[in-house]
Amino acid sequence: MSSDEKNNTWFVYMVRCADDTLYTGVTTDLKRRVKEHNFDNKKGAKYTRFRRPVVLVYDEVVKDRSEGGKREAEIKKMTKREKETLISNDS
């Protein structure tokens, strides 16, 4: 059984990179994923690897991986201003 099967809670998240850009992803473990973005050159996203450190600024629970992927795509299509509004409304 994979770790994804053990943890049924899925999250869509955004991290703010050192260059003030935003990266959006999907995971079952926010703490582990942020750590990977910051320290793991194999598991961290190539995009964030050169923009460290990253800080978690937004997350939302989604039903499953499929819903997470759809929501991730919606967020990635947003303008930076729309993403910033989403982040500030979450605070």
| Residue 76 to residues 4, 67, 80, Cα–Cα distance (Å) | 23, 14, 9
What's residue 26's pLDDT? Answer: 98
In the chain the domains, ranked by start, together with CATH numbers, are 3-90 (3.40.1440.10)
Residue 80 CB contacts under 8 Å (≥ 6 apart), including other chains: 22
User: Is there a contact between 9 and 28 (Cβ–Cβ < 8 Å)?
Assistant: yes
Q: What is the pLDDT of residue 3?
A: 46
CB 57 within 8 A of CB 16: yes
Query: pLDDT tens-digit profile of 48-83?
Result: 999 999 999 999 999 999 999 999 999 999 999 999
How far apart CA 8 and CA 45 sit, in angstroms, is 22
Q: What is the mean pLDDT of the chain?
A: 92
Q: What is the pTM of this model?
A: 0.89
